[in-house]
Amino acid sequence: MITTSIQPLEAPSPAYICPLDQACSYLEAAARELKLDQGLLQILSHPRKVVTVSIPVKRDNGEIEILAGHRVQHCDVLGPYKGGIRYHPAVTLREVSALAMLMTWKCALLGIPYGGAKGGIALDPKRYSVGELERLTRRYTSELIKDIGPSVDIPAPDMGTSAREMAWMMDTYSVNVGHAVPGVVTGKPLSIGGSLGREMATGRGVMIIVREALADQGKSLADVRVVIQGFGNVGSAAALLMHEAGAKVIAVSTGSGGVYSETGLDIPALKAYAAENRRSVIGFPQAIPINNAELLTLPCDVLIPAALENQITEDNVNQVQAKIVAEAANGPVTLVANQALEARGVTVLPDILANAGGVVVSYLEWVQGLSYLFWDEERVNRELEHLMVQAYHQVIKHSKIRQIPLRLAAYTLGVGRVAKALTDRGLYP
């Protein structure tokens, strides 16, 4: 029997908040602030290349299933395309296109010489065996073989993927071209040229940006109560590093629900518990169960949405009590909610700054690979720290000078750098 999970490419319901529309609205706001030429805005609003492939996968029971895989390459004016590969049931072409655009601004804001891209397959990885995941990852990679490469487009992990998938991608690419090409992906295992510090990098970057924002308010991590939605790679690393820095992490959740403790959760113990319980935190001793909706509105100093987009919306934004919202996920605060938070004086640390640590260390991994010289973890973390702190202060400075919110300041810097490069390069032909 043949089954297919190819989905319609457009918005599924009227209530759906389209991440691509939101990304374009932020781009337009930045373009207005920059007084950008309309032609340039047109170029930057459109991805340069969009690839959708069918991925036939043989399930373990012998059935063939067809999945839809996307790769959107938004803009490569500053360097090779760069961005993660997402495995999640909610993946659509519009979502991947939005995330590709965010990668362009993120890389430009951090000053790393990449363009933005994103890939994704609409599937729930929990429903597939390791063998099935390997087969579909290899097929997806081979379908994209002409579109990726160490100086063309460099995938990395995103939601639902990890070093394991990157190793399969690197191997498939290498076998097809006839020699080992570690630089075709980042976020790969250390054994094949991965970088120390990459796994914790996005969470570490979130911690650095929150720490800097607190310092600007005369506070430190040791003074604050933190709530984190999402306990995957990013959320759990941010939780651990903040816990180590003395913050009280009072609640965390995964998709199936969360836990709360007024006195602060024991994060190392919670990580160990989640590792033993198929990544769920439910049932963790000495903590109260809490659902995701309750978690977002808990009284706290710092709220870190580290899961999916569109979590803080016009429906729940008035109940959000945090004074700082750090977007560890991409697009977790909707446009309308963002305006409401900014109007209330809440500090919103935008995704293209707050979660940039992952792609920064991806860049450091790529640089180490290209130079055949690998660094110790301390050096990687030092370089990450430098680039994150530098970008943070550029955004703060720009926001103060122009009297604009942090998100618009971050977008203006990112978009402005890409627009300048595009102008300097000129339009071909």
Residues noted as catalytic: 118
| Binding track over 26-65 against ligand GLU, x by CB under 6 A | ----------------------------------------
Structure tokens at 195: 């970088």
70 binds ligand GLU (CB under 6 A): no
Place of tokens 């400075």: 397
The site that binds ligand GLU (CB under 6 A) totals a number of residues, namely: 12
Within residues 119-148, the interface with ligand GLU by CB under 6 A covers none
> Which one-letter amino acid corresponds to residue 136?
L
156 binds ligand GLU (CB under 6 A): yes
Residue from 120, 203, 331, 358 in contact with ligand GLU (CB under 6 A)? 358
362 binds ligand GLU (CB under 6 A): yes
| Strands 225-229, 302-305: pairing kind | parallel
Question: Among 73-81, 143-151, 252-260, 353-361, which window interacts with ligand GLU (CB under 6 A)?
Answer: 353-361
H/E stretch holding 75 = strand 64-75
301 binds ligand GLU (CB under 6 A): no
> Which one-letter amino acid corresponds to residue 296?
L
| Binding track over 232-251 against ligand GLU, x by CB under 6 A | --------------------
Q: Do the Cβ atoms of 364 and 384 come closer than 8 Å?
A: yes
Burial class (CB in 10 A: 0-12, 13-18, 19+), 89: middle
Three-class DSSP category at 61: coil
CA distance 35 to 76: 22
Give whichever of 317 and 326 is closer to ligand GLU, judged by the CB atom.
326
Give whichever of 84 and 350 is closer to ligand GLU, judged by the CB atom.
84
Residue from 71, 82, 94, 243 in contact with ligand GLU (CB under 6 A)? 82
108 binds ligand GLU (CB under 6 A): no
Q: Do the Cβ atoms of 302 and 226 come closer than 8 Å?
A: yes
Structure tokens at 174: 């290498």
Instruction: State which residue has the least CB distance to ligand GLU.
Output: 84
CA distance 306 to 102: 16
Question: Pick from 94, 137, 91: which is nearest to 308 by CA?
Answer: 91
Structure tokens at 34: 């920059």
| Binding track over 177-206 against ligand GLU, x by CB under 6 A | ---------xx-------------------
CA distance 19 to 16: 9
Question: Among 18-26, 79-87, 296-304, 331-339, which window interacts with ligand GLU (CB under 6 A)?
Answer: 79-87
Question: Among 171-179, 270-278, 356-364, 417-425, which window interacts with ligand GLU (CB under 6 A)?
Answer: 356-364
Omega prior to 429 cis, within 30 of 0: yes
The least CB distance from residue 365 to ligand GLU, in Å, is 8
- The residue ranges that bind ligand GLU (CB under 6 A) are 82-84, 156, 158, 186-187, 330, 355, 358-359, 362
